[in-house]
Amino acid sequence: MERPRWPTTLAVVTGLTAIYVAAGKLALRVAFLNPSASAVWPPTGIALASLLLIGFRAWPAVLIGAFLVNLTTAGNVATSLGIAAGNTLEAIAGAWLTRRFASGRDAFERPQDFQRFLVLAGFVSTAVSPTLGVTSLCLGGFTRWSDYGTVWLTWWLGDVGGALIVAPPLILWGSRPRPGWSRLQAVELGAVLLSLCLVGEIEFMGYLLPGFSRYPLTFLCIIPLLWAAFRFGPRETAAAGLVLLIIASWGTLRSRGPYGGFAPNASLLLLQAFMVVTVIVAMRLAAGVAERRRAHEALRLQAAELERSNAELEQFAHVASHDLQEPLRTVTNFVQLLAQRYRGRLDRDADDFIGYVVDGTTRMAQLIDDLLEFSRAGRTDRPMEPTDCRGVLEKALANLAVSIRESGAVVRHDGLPTVRGDPSQLTQLFQNLIGNAVKFRGPDRAEVQISAVRRSGEWLFLVRDNGIGIAPEYRERIFVIFQRLHGRNEYPGTGIGLAICKRIVTRHGGRIWVESQPGRGSTFCFTLPVAETPGAGASGVRLTGP
């Protein structure tokens, strides 16, 4: 059974009324211009925070509190009611607008929300109370209509300060459990607080360094606030702003500091304007930093998740292709046996069908081999070591000896360097690129040239051919797995070779791309890291592009 809420509400309203009255009476002690209008008005912040934290049911506390404060200060029942109504409506409007347009109590976590809070709860809704309040006082004969403007401004600025400097720390510290700081962070926060108190003391009180307080050094106050914003968050920044307001008000009211020398109300108004601007800047920054930190964390989690799912997929591809090899081998063996034993003994159709199966299984075996190679190319457990590219190239050429000989291709190379890499993967890389250069040859005899140049901390390799070339629009696509530009009847292949190359180069921290024009050959370019031990050979040419 749900317990009735009214006893809790009653207790909350009573407690809140008491706090409101105490804060209001304290603030009205510095109401110099008019007994009912103070340039410092924390009750606005208390009311706004209460309505956002507790809900709209807290409004009677604001109404009763404001009524009591004013009835015991100046005016009569009617003016006190008018003022109290203004204070209450202002708090309701501020809380409603903040909830509707600025994410409620989360208004300080994102710059956009904070900006909306700033305008709506900070500057717009705070006009309600001075308008109703000063009008009530004028109507009741407690203030002259000619003073309307100055009293209104004092009242409004007091409320703005309450909404922007007092409400945020109350909302932020009241809405969630206390943040967990590490010991180091707690020490740093202590240092922020200490520097804030020091700057505040020196600038607004001047007991420590009496000569300094008259100099216009108030801009120094922004430093500890920005420190809190950058290193902590909106909660700590808001609290720092409130601490600074207390120190600065205390000093200014004792005619100390840069604003202490003016008439009492003017000095408080100046201080309030300074504080509001300073705190707005710090809070806006804190919201930006908090948002960035959250985005960074989300990205980090996403990257970790991506890495995990990638590894899973890779594992799956590896296991699947590995396990497929075995049954495929059986099928291939038996179908080849069938072909050997029964070719010509069955009818023509049967011979054709067996031929298709042999063809299909051979292709499938090639595909599985390539897929396995692709999944291996992404594995990072093989060590990187200084690798002489001449040895790697020789191995690749030996593996390609048959196709090179059959096609009559000519492969030349300049001196090649020693790089930091995985020898077997680099062999595969050269093999795939040279193999393609030979395979995709044009009408002329294939000529392949391999060279390397040192370029800003890495080696740039070029594998140039005089083959059929590639249209510019396909330059990216060809590195994607299974992407081929020709049918199998034109050129055999699985469309995995360049995807493997890309994986290998990426794993080595390099980049791979192609420069080509149809019919004018292709140059495959890739970069590899320089080995720590100085490499041998290679041309000393230095390039600047691409």
Q: Residue 281: how many CB atoms within 10 A of its CB? A: 14
Find the binder of ligand ADP among 192, 240, 429, 498 (CB under 6 A): 498
Q: Residue 333: how many CB atoms within 10 A of its CB? A: 11
CA-wise closest residue to 137 among 126, 145, 127: 145
Q: At what angle do helices 77-101 and 42-53 cross, to 10 degrees?
A: 50
Q: Does 470 bind ligand ADP (CB under 6 A)?
A: yes
Q: Does 236 bind ligand ADP (CB under 6 A)?
A: no
Which of 121, 411 has the CB closer to ligand ADP? 411
Find the binder of ligand ADP among 86, 421, 497, 510 (CB under 6 A): 497
Q: Residue type at 25?
A: K
Minimum separation from the CB atom of position 393 to ligand ADP (A) = 16
Find the binder of ligand ADP among 272, 427, 436, 466 (CB under 6 A): 436
Q: Does 493 bind ligand ADP (CB under 6 A)?
A: yes
Minimum separation from the CB atom of position 482 to ligand ADP (A) = 8
Token code pair at residue 546: 């691409």
CA distance 269 to 160: 11
Q: Which H helix or E strand runs over 516?
A: strand 512-516
Which of 42, 467 has the CB closer to ligand ADP? 467
Find the binder of ligand ADP among 17, 159, 465, 512 (CB under 6 A): 465
Which of 99, 475 has the CB closer to ligand ADP? 475
Q: Residue type at 351?
A: D
Contact letters for ligand ADP, residues 389-428 (x by CB under 6 A): ----------------------------------------
Phi, psi of 420 (to 5 degrees): -95, 115
Minimum separation from the CB atom of position 467 to ligand ADP (A) = 4
Burial class (CB in 10 A: 0-12, 13-18, 19+), 488: exposed
Q: Does 485 bind ligand ADP (CB under 6 A)?
A: yes
CA distance 539 to 137: 91
Q: Does 467 bind ligand ADP (CB under 6 A)?
A: yes
Which of 308, 486 has the CB closer to ligand ADP? 486
Q: Does 527 bind ligand ADP (CB under 6 A)?
A: no
List alpha helices for 34-147, DSSP H.
42-53, 59-71, 77-101, 111-117, 128-139
Which of 75, 497 has the CB closer to ligand ADP? 497
Task: Tell me the residue ranges of DSSP E strands in 110-249.
Answer: none
Q: Does 44 bind ligand ADP (CB under 6 A)?
A: no
> Which residues here bind ligand ADP, judged by CB under 6 A?
432, 436-437, 440, 465, 467-470, 478, 484-486, 493-499, 522
